[in-house]
Structure 1
Amino acid sequence: MASRRSARLVALNGSTTLLAAAPMPPPVAPAARSRKRKAETTAPEAEAPAPTQPEQATPVTPQRRRPVKKDATPPATPTPSAVGLMAESHSPFPNNNSNSDGPTTPLPKKPRSAAVSRLAGPDMTNAPLLSPQTSRLIASSPIDSVSPSKIPSLPGRTTTANILEEACAHLIKVDSRMKPLIEKQHCRIFSPEGLAEEVDPFEALASGIISQQVSGAAAKSIKNRFISLFDLGPENGRFPHPSQVAATSIEKLRTAGLSQRKAEYVQGLAEKFMSGDLSAQMLADAPYEEVLEKLIAVRGLGKWSVEMFACFALKRMDVFSLGDLGVQRGMAAFVGRDVAKLKTNKGGKWKYMTEKEMEEIAERFRPYRTIFMWYMWRVEETDISTME
């Protein structure tokens, strides 16, 4: 045991001597071990370290994106297409259904009714009306049929031949800015030819219901499919009688593209004509206030629809609609406002001017406010700078 121990001591002493004789190299700094590496050593199952990220430039706050303002576009007014559909006729007493006052697709052209000079007036129904069930014509008296004893009093009397001319002269007299509008735009619907076209009031009102909340093209298509539901004989396009519509099931009416409610409204309207609650004679003779009250009581007919019917089917000359956006916009442009700057009331509705302002402006144009309203739809089609 002692000899082994002495041998180890000798060997240890020898190595110590050699180390002392050799020059000592500079101490080597121990390799830096990161905490991550240490963690990897002690925990082999840890994930590999992420690659070193390059130095980033000084962070800059990104510019705030400003929301792009979209052009404020008002909801489209349905007036032109609704009026075109309401004013056309499929009656067996044919006329030319191509109506320049609305963008609806014209029906196959039929011979025009001859323009007969009849007694007319701003507070009258100036359209010849067809009784929906019998097709009997109800119209004011032709001048030729007036008793000869009354002929001396006729010069200067308003007739269907001159009522539009009188109305336009009145509008220009009230406000000279109407002159360029009237010179550029011909109001055919109230011309002698337009006042000669016969109107089926049941068809006109039903067309107004059909056109609600749909485009003009869609309304036209639905109306044509509605007509095709009935066996109407060789006329091929005559609008059905109220009795035919009343006898048809709601399910069948809906196959034309009508909603459940619209089918019920049209059928209810037919029943009103069948019962006599509504008639062509009443619509021709009654004061406007009575016509308005009677028709608003019918399900599916609101005030705007009745106003458009009174204007463009009955051809009454002194009706004015406060609820028509197209009229409101035209009036705002007419008085020189920038219609691109829209206003809204608390309910979020589009506004160009208030109802009170509209009433005050339109009041001056009595008793031809319908004609004034028609021209307000055309303001933006005319260079209004010439009005100043």
Structure 2
Amino acid sequence: MIERFSEATLPGLYTTITQKDDHLHMIVNEYGHPPLWIRPNNFETLVLTILEQQVSLASAYAAYKKLKERIGTITPIALLQLSDEELRNCYLSRQKIVYTRELAKALNNNSISLRKLHHQPDDVVRQELKNLKGIGDWTVDIYLLHALRRTDIFPVGDRALLNAIKMVKGIDKLSKEEALEMAAPWRPYRSIATMLFWHYYIKKKNIKILH
């Protein structure tokens, strides 16, 4: 059974997860619940997630905003109609031009259906999307968490998440393997714990979320 969170179920899930970990309970006591971090399950969301790869949120959003100004709703056909130069003018790097185009082609020729992915288990979604150039585990994790709203996603490749865990837990070093072991008790709600750690990090670092 695929378990998803929603605006209605999140408060109860935050209560459940904070009962498993005193540090998570501390985050809620100090900063309350995170905002509702969900995105629609569409091409535009995956393009934004690709733009967020290995750059600041501000840089990613600048490119996303420029692209929307150029074509309005970001659809596969609209993106494929843009030249390399036009995409570069929207602040897309050479690699991300390739990645977003490959995704657009896959959706345009129906080799991937986001509607079908909505009903597929996490591992199937991961396998399907990772077959596309430029989409790795981090991008799939963010998509599964924000767009498909799966409850047990732990994006271990996310630097902000690992940094937040180190800050909250008061540790200097944390490998991905150690992070996965630390997250085991949060199953099957690792997505909920992840959002709490992000919330803490954003508050502590005074990061402005632009979208």
**For the superposition of Structure 1 and Structure 2, which TM-score range results when normalised by the shorter chain?**
0.7 to 0.9
Q: Which of 67, 73, 96 is equivalent to 1:226?
A: 67
One-letter identity of the residue aligned with 2:36: I
Please show how residues 116-265 of structure 1 align to structure 2 within 5 Å.
123-125=2-4, 160=6, 162-183=8-29, 184-189=31-36, 199-230=40-71, 238-265=72-99
Q: Which has the higher helix share?
A: 2
Please show how residues 93-104 of structure 1 align to structure 2 within 5 Å.
none
Distance 1:321 1:309 in 2: 10
Number of aligned residue pairs: 202
Instruction: Work out whether 1:362 is the aligned partner of 2:206.
Output: no
In structure 2, relative to structure 1, the CA distance for the partners of 1:358 and 1:217 (3 Å cut) is closer
% same residue: 25
TM-score (normalised: structure 2): 0.82
Instruction: Work out whether 1:295 is the aligned partner of 2:129.
Output: yes
SS in 2 for 1:186: coil
Any gaps of 5 or more consecutive residues in structure 1?
Answer: 1-120, 127-159, 231-237, 340-351, 383-388
Distance 2:164 2:55 in 1: 23
How far 1:329 moved relative to its partner? 2.3
In structure 2, relative to structure 1, the CA distance for the partners of 1:275 and 1:164 (3 Å cut) is same
Distance 2:162 2:63 in 1: 29
Distance 2:174 2:22 in 1: 21
Distance 2:7 2:163 in 1: 31
Aligned to 1:313: 147
Check conservation: 1:333, 1:379, Cα contact below 8 A: no
One-letter identity of the residue aligned with 1:313: A
Any gaps of 5 or more consecutive residues in structure 2?
Answer: 205-211
Check conservation: 2:41, 2:148, Cα contact below 8 A: no
Deviations 1:195-238 (A, max 9, x none): xxx614211111122233443333222222222333xxxxxxx4
How far 1:269 moved relative to its partner? 0.8
Higher radius of gyration, 1 or 2 = 1
Greater relative contact order, per chain length (Cα 8 Å cut-off, separation 6+): 2
Distance 1:360 1:259 in 2: 35
Deviations 1:278-314 (A, max 9, x none): 2231221000101111111211212112211211222
Instruction: Work out whether 1:333 is the aligned partner of 2:167.
Output: yes
Distance 1:311 1:317 in 2: 7
Check conservation: 1:250, 1:264, Cα contact below 8 A: no
TM-score (normalised: structure 1): 0.47
SS in 2 for 1:228: helix
Deviations 1:81-139 (A, max 9, x none): xxxxxxxxxxxxxxxxxxxxxxxxxxxxxxxxxxxxxxxx8x3455xxxxxxxxxxxxx
Check conservation: 1:245, 1:270, Cα contact below 8 A: yes
Deviations 1:5-51 (A, max 9, x none): xxxxxxxxxxxxxxxxxxxxxxxxxxxxxxxxxxxxxxxxxxxxxxx
Distance 2:170 2:64 in 1: 39
Distance 1:288 1:267 in 2: 24
